[in-house]
């Protein structure tokens, strides 16, 4: 099992993923004002949706079926399925971008970036599951390095890093890992249909779970955009981006932690330790944003710093939510997942929408942070009940 691999390899791969994904997000937070960051966030949300679909239909479905049946699917078949999902992400992003007049200028570049990012989700998951850590880290470094090269080159040339430059940096981040390999071996619609049929049981459970999750995490910001406006959406989404390091540290560990005993996670002592650990990144983010507010004007980060305490609460809640929901996706039955996701949806969609319309941006942010924290605790309780019922 991968869980027995050296911890340093897992830690290195997790850290490189943080650097890889945060590079583009950080460039947006630093160089874009809240209104442009709000526009960029629309495409980024679509990329997140495509990545979620890729996990459910390809990556996690492959892992679940491999664990359940012991069948080892070929890279060619796996990559083909990932390619079709990525092309779907391109098509959806293009269609949505053409609807918004301000996004039409980056409709093509943003759509390509979404497709590359979606494919990277699948290939990286595959490499981690196969314990190809050096290849994982090399791909992350190559992608982040190319993205930074685009941004730095633009600044060196005396040009402003705007929406167009940022999407080119996003494309570069997707191209970087492919320079080291991982290209699909042909594209077959028949193979894709066969994949869906053979993984249908896992896809059904994971996709249903993801739809409910995405309604709160991705659908809510999109529904809030008419209420908050593009600038308000930019600040609201920036809070989610502030928690990205936490999500990115946890997410790459999914395939590696598949074999960890659930009883060792939700027993009182380890569960309390996880909750205490969750407080650390939240406090750190709070302090850092307070420093940003006092030091300089740094794009959208400065606007976000006015809500530093709320963002800190959200970061801690995100840590708990990702840890416990990750184990839920692997261990709970379809019905157990459905119950948890519905409760999470009510909290993470209902509260922000209610407070956004009655209080405004600050109310929506406090509501989302509180709902995220409560959702994490809720998953811990559900997992503990699952363990108790199995005894």
* Average of per-residue pLDDT across 265-279: 86
Tally Cβ neighbours within 10 Å of residue 58.
30
**Separation between Cα atoms, residue 297 and residue 172, nearest integer Å:** 27
Q: For residue range 52-64, list pLDDT tens digits in order.
A: 999 999 999 998 8
Whether the pTM exceeds 0.85: the reply is no
Region 18-31: mean pLDDT is 90
Tokens 């494919």 label which residue?
Answer: 119
Spacing of C-alpha 191 from chain mean position: 27
- Provide the pLDDT for residue 3: 43
Q: What is the pLDDT of residues 276-303, one digit of tens each?
A: 989 999 999 999 998 888 877 788 888 8
Residue 357 dihedral angles phi and psi, to the nearest 5°: -80, -25
Q: Band of the pLDDT at 222, cuts 50, 70, 90?
A: confident
H helix runs in 243-350, sequence order = 244-250, 263-266, 268-295, 299-304, 308-331, 334-345
Query: Looking at residue 2, what is its pLDDT?
Result: 44
* Cβ–Cβ < 8 Å for 353, 225: no
Residue 144 · residue 19 · CB < 8 Å: yes
CA pair distance 94, 103, nearest whole angstrom: 10
Q: Which domain holds residue 133?
A: 2-390
**What average pLDDT does this structure show over 14-33?**
88
Within the chain, what is the greatest distance between any pair of CA atoms? 66
* Distance, CA of 55 to chain centre: 11
What is the rounded distance in angstroms from the CA atom of residue 117 to the CA atom of residue 348?
25
Q: Say how far apart CA 68 and CA 202 lie, in whole Å.
A: 10
Query: How many structural domains are present in the chain?
Result: 1
Helix (H, G, I), strand (E, B) or coil at 162: coil
């Amino acid at each position: 099992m991968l869980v027995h691999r050296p911890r340093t390899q897992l830690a290195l791969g997790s850290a490189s993923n943080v650097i890889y994904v945060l590079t583009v997000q950080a460039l947006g937070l630093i160089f874009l004002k809240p209104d442009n960051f709000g526009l960029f966030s629309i495409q980024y949300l679509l990329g997140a949706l495509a990545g979620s679909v890729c996990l459910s239909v390809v990556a996690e479905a492959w892992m679940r079926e491999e664990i359940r049946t012991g069948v080892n699917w070929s890279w060619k078949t796996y990559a083909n399925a990932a390619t079709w999902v990525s092309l779907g992400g391109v098509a959806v992003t293009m269609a949505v971008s053409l609807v918004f007049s301000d996004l039409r200028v980056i409709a093509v570049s943003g759509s390509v970036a979404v497709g590359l990012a979606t494919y990277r989700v699948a290939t990286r998951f595959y490499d981690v599951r196969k314990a190809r850590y050096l290849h994982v880290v090399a791909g992350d470094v190559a992608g982040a390095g190319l993205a930074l090269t685009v941004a730095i080159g633009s600044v060196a040339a005396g040009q402003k890093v705007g929406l167009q430059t940022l999407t080119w940096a996003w494309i570069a981040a997707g191209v970087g890992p492919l320079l080291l390999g991982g290209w699909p071996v042909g594209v077959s619609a028949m193979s894709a249909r066969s994949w869906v049929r053979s993984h249908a049981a896992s896809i059904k459970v994971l996709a249903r779970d993801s739809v409910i999750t995405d309604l709160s995490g991705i659908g809510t910001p999109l529904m809030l955009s008419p209420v908050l406006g593009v600038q308000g959406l930019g600040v609201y989404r920036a809070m989610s981006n502030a928690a990205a390091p936490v999500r990115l540290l946890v997410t790459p560990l999914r395939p590696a932690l598949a074999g960890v005993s659930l009883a060792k996670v939700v027993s009182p002592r380890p569960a309390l330790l996880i909750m205490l650990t969750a407080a650390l990144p939240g406090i750190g983010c709070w302090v850092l944003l307070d420093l940003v507010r006092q030091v300089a004007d740094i794009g959208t980060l400065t606007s976000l710093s006015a809500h530093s305490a709320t963002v800190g609460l959200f970061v801690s809640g995100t840590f708990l939510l990702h840890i416990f929901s990750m184990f839920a996706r692997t261990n709970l039955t379809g019905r157990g997942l459905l119950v948890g996701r519905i409760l999470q949806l009510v909290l993470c969609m209902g509260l922000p929408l209610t407070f956004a319309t009655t209080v405004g941006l600050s109310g929506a942010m406090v509501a989302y942070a509180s709902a995220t924290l409560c959702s994490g605790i809720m998953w811990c309780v559900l997992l503990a009940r699952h363990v108790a019922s199995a005894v």
